[in-house]
Structure 1
Amino acid sequence: MSRKKKDENDVLTTRNSDHTGAIICTTIFNGGNYIGWSSGMRLALEAKSKLVYIDGSLVVPKESKVFDKWRKMDCLVCSWILNTVSDEIKSNYSSTTTALDLWLDIKERYQENNGPQAYQIQKAISNLRQEPLPACDCDPRTVCCYRMTKLVVQVDTSNKLTQFLMGLNKYFDNARQQILLMDPKPSLNRAYAMLLSIERQKEVQTLMNEQTDNFAMSMKENFDQQRSQNNTRNNRGK
């Protein structure tokens, strides 16, 4: 049996422990803990070779027999996700068609709420001693080392971005909030450029406001002066 065929069988096959009432993740999603819940669910699904049902990499089969197997497994994955969602939130997804749609709907609605949460966590631990980043002892040419290097760079970049945002004063609160809610997060250079752009826009707006105020004041002075001159002429004519 080819490797590809074996992987397809794993994706479409259920095990003895796979049933609709199973709770594969101990974290219950309550609307405010998306980061921890989604990470736990992804790990659990990957361990069961079912992560493809929510990451978009699985193409829905067209052959009827294979489609039936896929549909049954997809419904099972849906039930696993809903089993770890609070009853209050679960009621909003009673008519979701596929596991992927369910996963993306939850992500779209709740993921952005956790940007500030992650920021607060980083801020709370910012004074702790930073441990060395993970390293890989494999041959640099191997896939393992490549993935580890890429992961380390991503983690380091994310940490630097968060530390940079934490160092900003209250003047940039709105801009910081916008950056934290972005998905995916921008690079440190991009975030810096965004803040410079916002700063320039504020400077231009301030200058325009000052010019408008000066113009209005000048017009008022001219009007008062003209009215005073008219009153003087009227008084002389009496």
Structure 2
Amino acid sequence: MRLALKFKNKLQFIDGTLTKPEETDPNFLAWEKCNTYVVAWLNLSLSSEISQSVIWNENAYDIWNDLKHIYHQGDIFRIVDLEEEMYTSKQGELSITAYFTKLRIIWEELETFLPIPSYVCGVECTCDLGVMRKYRKQRQLVRLLRGLNEEYGTVKSQIILMAPLPDVNAVFGMLTQQQRQFYSLDNGEPRALISSSDLIENEKHFQHQNANGYRGRGHSS
């Protein structure tokens, strides 16, 4: 729900940053209309039993806080379950894409429960929030690598030795390339491993792509 509200630029109605204006305020009617939409979205996303407990409330912020107060304990247990699932995840018989997608779903759900506040910096963010986000990305990368099958041992060691560590999305691209090489049957030649130089070139390529996309979106995060 947070992602949906963020996508519709309505997250401020539940986090308290956009408070209800006075009825004499020129923005009151616009606020009331948007608040009504958010209240409706919240109610429609709830089961009928839960919806009955908040249906009387006409303020989106109050509804969100009521639900958070009532079900916060359940969130804690869900967070523990997700973290346990993340730390025990192994590739096994999954393809690289399926394995990465499995972890990505866990990471996204954890992000909804434990979000890092947004920040606005330049290309090189040095604020505390940026550092926290960097640490989280590094942990995700380590979990991705730790769960890989033994056949990826060499490329995994090469990635770990890279300084700085590459972005997790860039590593996913490297691993899919390695997977294609594993299953290549061209000319019946032995399967080749990605060399360190290939890894560095791939990382530069992904960084270049990410930088272009970043500049295209602006500097807000």
Shorter-chain TM-score bucket reads 0.3 to 0.5
TM-score (norm. length: structure 1): 0.40
Name which one, 1 or 2, has greater alpha-carbon Rg. Answer: 1
